[in-house]
Amino acid sequence: MPGPISPWRVTGTRERRRELKRDAVILAAARAFRARGYHHTSLDDIAALLHVTKPTLYYYVASKEEMLFECFRAGLDRIATACSKARRGTASGREQLIEVVRSYVEAITSDFGWCMVRAEDQDLGPELGARIRQLKSEIDQEIRRLVRAGIADGSIGDCDPKMVAFALAGALNWIPHWYRDNASLPASAIADRFVEVFVHGLAPRREGALPGKSS
Amino acid sequence: MPGPISPWRVTGTRERRRELKRDAVILAAARAFRARGYHHTSLDDIAALLHVTKPTLYYYVASKEEMLFECFRAGLDRIATACSKARRGTASGREQLIEVVRSYVEAITSDFGWCMVRAEDQDLGPELGARIRQLKSEIDQEIRRLVRAGIADGSIGDCDPKMVAFALAGALNWIPHWYRDNASLPASAIADRFVEVFVHGLAPRREGALPGKSS
DNA sequence: CCGAGTCTATACTTGCTGGTAGAAATCCTA
DNA sequence: TAGGATTTCTACCAGCAAGTATAGACTCGG
């Protein structure tokens, strides 16, 4: 739906143009993968999206694998950035975690969301696959860290940080399975609902919540 | 890890033996898909697992697609069954939901869990793909129904049933991404942790909470 | 022990798609 | 406008894996 990506016919220095085109290739790949799935997308399909032929793609990218990797990275980087930003803040563990969740939802509903989640690192060679697993693991560790921080500062109740991280990441990573950018809530609204559930749980909230521990 | 599947060389009536072998083919396929991914698993691989050759598989199954479909179904059926069982009970919406979650975790950590979740219905033709989507949708609706029931009977607080269902299903469906039957918690323990998070949330619990819990 | 039905293997076809060789077009600089 | 670098195209290859034709082997009732 977002317009065609055409840095072909565009101005700027050589290097700059090349860079833009390469990005366009990655983005087109991401959209195609999302629409048809990695294995059902041929390079000709991607080339067609750009009104170009297959060998042209290879001028910007070494292999189909590399395209997938770059899509992966594009998404994961956004989340990693959000994590380290949260980390620099001074808010409570819970607040930081919530911030990360918001960024996570933004990233995962982007064009690259699908690739981050549905593409198997099996589809990447051992080389790139390992790098992706590394990135994923870092994010996982970061989430656990935030949960532990929250427990430490009292903003999060006692729980198993590992399982909480899995549950949270699972809920978030699943979004691309049902999210349709036409027909779904905007990312921020989704984030709100998720935060609500994860912070307060399903149990009916008892009245008399406010500060103070009168139960 | 669970031993080789060999109903080859086994007794029983003709029909019975055929049925057993067909099941064995499906199970072998499920394990292979889980280990290597659908697209990276050749029929020769599956045949090798059974110490048999590829054409033999075709004697029990019409196509690779059908194998995937049957794996899918094997897993989803377990969950659907759990749903309708829960439905027959008289417990509160929340209790019923929790029961479903437990069954869900059991199913999703089984050999078929991977297929239920990681296989794209894109890999199935329009025919089978539609049937799978149907099954998935039924389960989704069932979860939403339980949430609404819980809200109605007061066992669940006010919330958006659709988003809650998505969050819950996401967390559960993600399990195959990290679950390793050697190295992870047993299914029941995972279910416990998940229930804990989803029922009570991350916010520190104020004293004097609701009546305790269970098994 | 025979032959109809059941089961399995050998050996092949076929289509698709990732990837490439090398020529042609285009662009920039001088 | 010449000529070298950059960019894109046409045409092709190779390999893999799904699926099949067909013949051989096993089982079991009669």
User: For A112-123, what is the mean pLDDT?
Assistant: 89
- Which is more confidently placed, B205 or B192? B192
Distance CA(A118)–CA(A180), nearest Å, equals 15
Q: Is residue B75 assigned to a domain?
A: yes
Neighbour count for residue B145 (Cβ, 10 Å): 17
Closest residue (CA) to C1' of nucleotide C17 is A42
Do A170 and A129 fall into the same domain?
yes
Q: Which of A6, A26, A61 is the last residue of a domain?
A: A61
What pLDDT, in 10s, does the model give residues B131-182? 999 999 999 999 999 999 999 999 999 999 999 999 999 999 999 999 999 8
Q: What is the pLDDT of residue B119?
A: 83
As a whole number of angstroms, the longest Cα–Cα distance in chain A is 70
Helix (H) or strand (E) holding A70: helix A64-88
Q: Are residues A93 and A178 in the same domain?
A: yes
pLDDT for A57 beyond 50: yes
Nearest CB among A168, A194, A199 relative to B203 is that of: A199
State, as a whole number of angstroms, the distance between the CA of A202 and the C1' of C21: 63
Confidence of residue B204 (pLDDT cuts 50, 70, 90): very high
Q: Compute φ and ψ for A183, nearest 5 degrees.
A: -105, 5
Measuring alpha carbon to C1', the residue closest to nucleotide D16 is: B42
Which of B30, B88, B89 lies closest to B64, judged by CA? B30
Q: How many angstroms separate the CA atoms of B106 and B176, rounded?
A: 11
Percentages of chain B per state (helix, strand, coil), in multiples of 5 = 70, 0, 30
Work out the minimum CA distance from A76 to partner chain B, whole angstroms.
17
Whether residue A188 is predicted with pLDDT greater than 50 in this model: the reply is yes
Q: Are residues B69 and B173 in the same domain?
A: yes
Q: Is the pLDDT of residue B1 over 50?
A: no
Q: Which of B6, B32, B61 is at the close of a domain?
A: B61
Cα end-to-end distance, chain B, whole Å: 29
**Which residues of chain B make contact with A163, given a CB cutoff of 8 A?**
185, 190, 193-194, 197
Kindly state whether residues B86 and B157 are assigned to the same domain. yes
Distance in angstroms, CA of A45 to C1' of D13?
A: 20
Residue of chain B whose Cα is closest to the Cα of A148: B202
B206 belongs to a structural domain:
no
Chain B residues close to A206, C-beta within 8 Å: 206
Which residues, 6+ apart, have CB-to-CB distance to A77 below 8 Å?
none
Among residues A61, A95, A116, the one where a domain terminates is A61
CB–CB contact A168 B171 (8 Å): yes
Beta-carbon separation of B201 and A197 below 8 A? yes
A214 part of a folded domain: no
Instruction: Please indicate whether, in this complex, the C-beta atoms of B123 and A37 are within 8 angstroms of each other.
Output: yes
Domain membership flag for residue A212:
no
pLDDT average, residue stretch B119-137? 91
pLDDT exceeds cutoff 90 at B213? no
Check whether residue B56 and residue B79 sit in a common domain: no
Q: How far apart are the first and last CA of chain A?
A: 51
Is-contact A60 A18, C-beta < 8 A? yes
Give residue A172's domain range. Answer: 73-200
Q: Which nucleotides of C are covered by protein (CB under 7 A)?
A: 6-11, 16-22, 28
B210 in any annotated domain = no
Q: Do A169 and B174 touch (CB under 8 A)?
A: yes
Banded model confidence at residue B87, pLDDT cuts 50, 70, 90: confident
B84 and B190 in a common domain:
yes
Nearest neighbour of A178 by CB, restricted to B36, B166, B207: B166
* Residues A18 and A82 both lie in one domain: no
Q: Mean pLDDT across the stretch B114-137?
A: 91
Judgement on whether residues B52 and B75 belong to the same structural domain of the protein: no
Q: Establish if A213 belongs to a structural domain.
A: no
* Record: contact A170-B193, CB cut-off 8 A: no
- Å: B135 CA to C8 C1': 35
Residues B70-86: b if buried by 16+ CB within 10 A, e if exposed: bbbbbbbebbbebbeeb
Average of per-residue pLDDT across B19-33: 95
Band the pLDDT of B11: cuts 50, 70, 90: low
Q: What is the helix (H) or strand (E) element at residue A177, kind and residue range? A: helix A175-178
Q: Which residues contact A161 (CB under 8 A, 6 or more apart)?
A: A144, A147, A148, A151
Q: Would you say the C-beta of A134 is within 7 Å of strand D?
A: no
Buried residues in A16-35 as b, exposed as e (16+ CB within 10 A): eeeebbbebbbbbbbbbbbe
One domain, residues B88 and B179: yes
Per residue in A32-52, pLDDT tens?
999 999 999 999 999 999 999
Footprint of strand C on the protein (CB under 7 A): A 14, 40-44, 54-55, 58, 63-65; B 8, 14, 17-18, 21, 51-56, 59
Residue A209 belongs to some domain of the structure = no
What is the CA B12 to C1' D24 distance in angstroms? 25
Sequence-distant (6+) residues with CB within 8 A of A121 are A128, A129, A132, A133
Q: Is the CB of B43 under 7 A from strand D?
A: yes
Residue nearest to nucleotide C8 (CA to C1'): B56
Residue B3 scores a pLDDT above 80: no
What's the pLDDT at A15? 84
* Residues B125 and B196 both lie in one domain: yes
pLDDT in tens, B36-84: 999 999 999 999 999 999 999 999 999 999 999 999 999 999 999 988 8
pLDDT recorded at residue B8: 67
Q: What distance in Å separates the CA atoms of residue B160 and residue B163, rounded to the nearest whole number?
A: 6
In terms of CA atoms, which chain A residue is nearest residue B185? A163
Contact between A57 and A25 (Cβ < 8 Å):
yes
Task: Give the pair of three-digit tokens for residue A156.
Answer: 């999060």
Q: Are residues B75 and B112 in the same domain?
A: yes
CATH number of the domain enclosing B117: 1.10.357.10
CB B37 within 8 A of CB B114: no
Q: Domains in chain A: how many in total?
A: 2
The CATH number of the domain holding residue B56 is 1.10.10.60
Q: Is residue A207 part of a domain?
A: no
Residues B136, B38, single domain; the answer is no
